[in-house]
Structure 1
């Protein structure tokens, strides 16, 4: 069975999507439509902008979404997913790819999500850190024992977990992780504590937007970050999408469940190949590929 997977924030690069724009009339049409929906020329930043300009949250999230979704749409008849999943932001790309959301609705939600997250980040100094070489259970235990808000946020693959929370709490937790035997515990250059309770203001804002958006029955199941299980019910998809901002990304568990349900090939749709690397670390036997025009 074919599983299509969609990357999240951090996969952006200058020049992303330019090959699609130049080689596909459909892609060109969709990129121009996106410029109108967003109210600014995101294509200028994607194709020619500096890495700093691309790092702006209001740009990064729509840019990665557009690269992934437009690539999926240019694949035409060859794009036949049996299941889909996306890492954090990538979940929105996956929902457009499997027909649960249309292009315009998906882009508007991603743009609103980016702005809401940016606002939440400005309310309180917060950050994230990568913890390498520790069992998930030990990371969770250290987080629970650390003073302040700090939680497990991204279960990326065995031995690689990202924690999220208040700056001081993250620093304390990183030291405790090293004492507990972590190979590395390093603070990441991110704008805030994504997938933690500190994103509650963004969750509330996004909840209203999601409730007011029409979702359709998807063409195939999506394995959502919050539950790591196959979902096809639109109302459940909406509820999970709202919970996602303050809940952890269960990527390890999602990939394991997809394999258990029959996934034999994981094709990454969008910029970079980070997810393929994670899939290989979760299951060395899994077959991976990059989608190409």
Structure 2
């Protein structure tokens, strides 16, 4: 069970100095925030971002501030089951269905649409899995100018994969005990080489390793589907795709991301960039964080007028 939070801290977290409470079509309330383009800067595009497992959107503040300064209007939200959204709804680690996660992406894209401006979709880790599955299932008609998936949860490293016999057991638990949660110990050392970020992560009251059996099952089923050889070939060919990953990622598997890229040969504009010696949160890695964010910004800026019709594979 999650550790109870002091009422004073909970009240403070539920009344943040920035951001808004947004009511979705099904009545669920989520915490959302935008990073507007500064006065005097031309707005060139929008980016809707999906955060990773157990975290929240304000961990990306430095990333989105840089993007806004480059003319990209950013919108993100704490997903169901995470961050302030979970705190308000008392729903830590809970979802009802994977389709609900994708519906939330569609609503966020609608909220973040600026007439006449291209719209990009991005996500990290679990968020990378979400945006790739959204691209697969709904991307053809979503009007996307491009998708960024960083450290996407396509595959887990071989040493941390669940044994084959555990999958049907998890499916059974998700069916008979869908809302029962388990809490995994958070190992901040796998995220980044930055010790300050590790300490912030461990001390962050909005970070949680709690997941319901139903959410865990939905996530793993999504990973299994994306890792199938035929899945990348079902992506809409005209939507540009950027994949980034670090070779020292112990949470998600960089070779799986490269394989996904290689299988998506039909895409008219696809790129993968692998950062040697870097861990899971590339945007927090001291050696490359500025380069990574610049890579995402440059990639979007080059595609505001449409796909770059060539396949590029870059290893860094």
Scaled by the length of structure 2, the TM-score of the pair is 0.34
Scaled by the length of structure 1, the TM-score of the pair is 0.35
More helix by share: 1
Which is bigger in relative contact order (C-alpha 8 A, separation at least 6)? 1
